[in-house]
C-alpha cells in the first residue's frame, strides 16, 4: 500500500456518516470472554480485516479475519478516529483497570460504538511486529477480567 492509498483510506473512513474508530482488524461482536479474536465467533464470520505479521513485506505472513465493514470494536495495532468521535469519548484510563493499560483499544472502541459511532475495519495494510504476545500476560488477563466485570457483554453491531 503506497502512502497516498493509505491516506485515501483514512480520509474516506473518517468521512463516513457518524464515523468513529477505524483500523485494520476488529469484530462485530465482543463476546462475554472479552477477547475480540474469539475463535468461535471467527468461525461464524463475525471478525473483519487482515493483519500482516513479520519483519518486512517480503517475509510477512498474514491473518485474514474477514471482509472490511462495520464492527463493535477494533484491535489496537492501529486506530484512527474521526474528530467528532474523539471529542465524545472519555480518553482517560478507567479507574477499574489496573497496572499497564491493557484493553485501551477495546475500551475506546466499544465506548464509541455504544455512543452510536460507526466503527469500521478498512483495507489498511501494515505490518504488525507482534503476534499478540501481550495477550495472556498477567496484567492483560487481570484487565480482561475487570473489563468483563464492568461491562455488559456481549457488545455487538
DSSP assignment of 58-80 equals TT-EEEEEE-SEEESEE-TTS-E
| Fold that domain 3-156 belongs to in CATH | Spore Coat Polysaccharide Biosynthesis Protein SpsA; Chain A (3.90.550)
Q: What is the pLDDT of residue 9?
A: 95
Instruction: Please state, as a whole number, how many other Cβ atoms lie within 10 Å of the Cβ of residue 114.
Output: 14
Q: What is the pLDDT of residue 133?
A: 54
Give me the chain's average pLDDT, please. 92
- Residue bearing cell 457518524: 18
Pairing of strands 61-66, 80-81: unpaired
Range with the poorest average pLDDT among 33-37, 82-86, 128-132: 128-132
Q: What is the pLDDT of residue 157?
A: 96
Quote the distance between the C-alpha of residue 91 and its chain's center: 16
Check whether the bond before 110 is cis (ω within 30° of 0). no
Q: Which of 2, 39, 37, 59 is nearest to 121 (CA)?
A: 37
Q: How far apart are CA 79 and CA 82, in angstroms?
A: 10
Q: What is the pLDDT of residue 135?
A: 57
pTM, rounded to two decimals: 0.91
136-150 mean pLDDT: 89
Are 109 and 21 a contacting pair, CB within 8 Å?
yes
Give the domain ranges of the chain. Answer: 3-156
Cell of 150: 464492568
pLDDT bracket for residue 115 (50, 70, 90): very high
Percent of all residues in the chain with a pLDDT value above 70, rounded to a whole number = 96
Percent of all residues in the chain with a pLDDT value above 90, rounded to a whole number = 74
Amino acid at each position: 500500500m503506497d502512502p497516498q492509498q493509505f491516506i485515501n483510506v483514512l480520509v474516506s473512513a473518517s468521512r463516513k456518516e457518524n464515523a468513529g474508530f477505524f483500523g485494520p482488524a476488529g469484530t462485530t461482536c465482543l463476546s462475554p470472554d472479552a477477547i475480540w479474536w474469539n475463535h468461535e465467533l471467527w468461525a461464524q464470520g463475525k471478525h473483519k480485516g487482515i493483519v500482516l505479521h513479520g519483519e518486512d513485506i517480503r517475509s510477512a505472513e498474514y491473518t485474514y479475519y474477514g471482509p472490511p465493514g462495520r464492527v463493535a470494536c477494533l484491535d489496537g495495532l492501529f486506530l484512527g478516529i474521526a474528530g467528532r468521535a474523539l471529542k465524545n469519548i472519555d480518553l482517560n484510563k478507567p479507574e477499574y483497570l489496573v497496572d499497564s493499560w491493557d484493553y485501551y483499544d477495546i475500551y475506546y472502541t466499544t465506548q464509541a460504538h455504544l455512543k452510536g459511532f460507526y466503527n469500521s475495519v478498512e483495507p489498511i495494510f501494515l505490518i504488525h511486529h507482534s503476534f499478540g504476545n501481550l495477550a495472556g500476560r498477567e496484567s492483560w488477563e487481570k484487565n480482561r477480567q475487570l473489563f468483563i466485570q464492568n461491562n455488559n457483554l456481549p457488545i455487538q453491531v
